[in-house]
Chain A
C-alpha cells in the first residue's frame, strides 16, 4: 500500500505513554487499599479503560488511522459497555 501515508510517531510520545501506563498501573494497585465497597470493581474498570484507550490510541496507531477503523473500535467498546450494564441489571436489582 505504497500510496497510503504512514505516520511516524516520535519516541517522546511513546515514552510519555509508557510512563502514564506505569503510573496508572501503580494507581490501580494503590486504589485497592481504599475501601470503596461496591464501587471497587468500577474503580478497577475505569483504570483499565484509560490504559486500554492509551494503548489503542498511541501504540496501535488508532489516532492516525482512518475514521471507519476508529468507528469499529468504538462500536466494540459500546457493545462491551452495554453488556456490562445489562449484566448489572441483574446484580443491582436482585
Chain B
C-alpha cells in the first residue's frame, strides 16, 4: 500500500488550531481528537461504574448488611448498569477506536460530517450530566435496574426522570455517530478500496452503524413514553389504566438486544485486526467474517424476546424467539472458527494485544455457550433472574467488549500516542486482570445454578463461599486494572517513541506516522488490485 504523508507535518496531538489548550480539544472537529475525548470521558465513567461494582461485591462478601442498606444496593446496581451500558460499552469501541481509526483505515482525511461528530460527543457529555444529576439531586438515585421496567419505573419514588432523559440524549449521540460512519464508509473510501478490500474492523463498524441508526430511536420513543406515563399517566404501559407492561419490555428489548451487537460487533472487528497481525497471516475466511457480521447485525434485530421468556409472552412467540436465538449463535461461532484457523500455522508473535485477543476468544466462548442455556426455554425458566444471568452477560459484555477494548487499546496505542508502553507491565496487568475476572464471574454461574437470585443485597448462608471467592476476584481484577491504566497513562507521556508500524501490520493506519498527521494523508492513498488489508506473504 502506498505511504503518503509528510514527516514534517504537525501531528494531531500537538497541532495548534483556532483554539488553544482545553478549548482546542473540546471544540476540535478532528476525528482523532474526538476519539480521545470519548476515550477520556468513557474511562472516567468506567471508573465510577467500577467503584459501584466493587461496592456491590463488597456488600455481598457476607450475608446480611455489610456496608449498605437494601435501597442503596438497588440504586448501586441501577446506576452501575446505566453507566456501564449506556456510557461505556455502547459507545466504547465505535466512538473511541472507530472515530480515531475508521477514516485512516479507509484512506480518508476525516469522517463525512466532522461537526456532527463533535456534536455527538457534546450530546454524550450532556447525557452523562443528566444521569449524574439524577444521582445527586432530588429524591434519591434511581432503583429500577438499568432496564427501567414498567410498571415500577413510573411507580418508583426515586429521581428517575433525569436518568431516563439522560439515556434518551445518549441515544441521540449514538444515532449521530452511526449516521456519520455509514456515510463515511459509503462516500469517503480512497481510490481502489472496494468493499471487499475494507479492513474487517471497518466492516463491523458498518454493521454497528446500521444498528445504531435503526434500533436506537425505538428506545428513545420508549423512554419518552415512560416519562409521559410518569408525569401524566397516559396509560400505555400501566395495567391499571388499560396499558400493557409487557409492551414496554418488547419496545425496550427491540433496542437493547441489538445494542448488545453494537457492543460486540466492533469488538469482534478489533479482534479480527489483531489476530492476523500477530499471526502474520491472511485472515481465514475474510468473506465469511463479513457475511457473519452482517448476519449478526440483521438476525440480532429479531431475537429480543429471549429476554422475556418468563414475562408472560405467548407460547408461539417464545418458540420463535428461542429458535432465532439459536440461529444467531451460528455466525458468532463462525467468527471463532475463523480466528482460530487464522492462527493455525501462522508466525505467532506473542505480544500484549494477542494475549488480550486470545483471552477474549476464551471468555467469549464461555459467555456465548452459557447464552445457549438461557436461549433454551426450559433451562431459562430455571436460571432466569439468577446470578447465572449476571455471570453470562458479564462474560459477554465485559469479557467480550471489555477484553476487546483493552486488546484494541494495546494494539493501537503506539499509533495513537506515538509511544510504546512497557510490555512487561502490560502483560502483568493482563494476567492479574484475567485471573481476577475468572475468579469474580465464574462462581456466579455456580451460584445461579444453585438458585441465588440476582439484584438482592442479601443471600442464604449456603451461597457464602461462592460470594467470598467472587468478591476476592473483584479485588484482584481491579488491581490488574490499576496496573494496566497506570502503565498506559505513564507510557503515553514517557514511553519510548514508537515506530510507524511496530506490529508489521498491513492496514492503512500503519502507513502514516505515529501519532498521525492532522489530516492523516497529504495525498489520498491508492489501493492497487493486488493490495489488501491482510496480504501477508
Contacts and interface: CB of A to CB of B under 8 A. Distances in A.
A complexed with B: yes
Interface of A: 76, 79, 82-83, 86-87, 89-94
B214 A86 contact: no
Given A76-B214, A90-B246, A90-B305, A83 B316 contact: no
B513 to A, nearest CB: 32
Contact of B314 (A76, A82, A83, A90): A90
Contacts of B317: 86, 89-90, 93
Contacts of B313: 90, 94
Contacts of B214: 76, 79
A45 to B, nearest CB: 15
A79 B214 CA distance: 9
Given A76-B214, A79-B214, A83-B254, A89 B302 contact: no
Most chain B CB neighbours (cut-off 10 Å) among A79, A82, A86, A94: A86
Given A79-B214, A83-B254, A94-B314, A89 B320 contact: yes
A14 B314 CA distance: 46
B302 A86 contact: yes
B250 interface: yes
Q: Please name the 3 residue pairs, one residue from A and one from B, whose CB atoms are nearest each other, closest first.
A: A93-B314, A93-B316, A90-B317
Contacts of B315: 93
Interface residues of B, number: 14
Contact of B250 (A82, A87, A92): A87
Contacts of A90: 246, 250, 305, 313-314, 316-317
Contacts of A87: 250, 254
6 contacts: A82-B301, A83-B254, A87-B254, A90-B313, A93-B314, A94-B314
B313 to A, nearest CB: 5
Given A82-B302, A86-B305, A90-B314, 4 more contacts: A90-B246, A90-B317, A93-B314, A94-B314
- Interface of chain A, helix or strand or loop or mixed? helix
Interface string B300-329: 011001000000111111001000000000
A83 B301 contact: yes
A25 B250 CA distance: 29
Nearest to A78: B298
Interface of B: 214, 246, 250, 254, 301-302, 305, 312-317, 320
Contacts of B254: 83, 87
Contacts of A83: 254, 301-302
A79 B301 contact: yes
A76 to B, nearest CB: 6
B306 to A, nearest CB: 12
Contacts of B301: 79, 82-83
Given A76-B214, A79-B301, A89 B250 contact: no
Most chain B CB neighbours (cut-off 10 Å) among A79, A82, A90, A92: A90
Nearest to B319: A89
Nearest to A86: B302
Nearest to A68: B186
Contacts of A91: 314
Nearest to A80: B214
A86 to B, nearest CB: 6
Contacts of A92: 314
Nearest to A1: B187
Nearest to B250: A87
B53 to A, nearest CB: 33
Contacts of A89: 314, 316-317, 320
Nearest to B312: A94
Contacts of B312: 94
B207 to A, nearest CB: 13
A86 B316 CA distance: 10
A79 B302 CA distance: 9
Contacts of B320: 86, 89
A92 B320 CA distance: 14
Contacts of A94: 312-314
A94 B301 CA distance: 22
B295 to A, nearest CB: 14
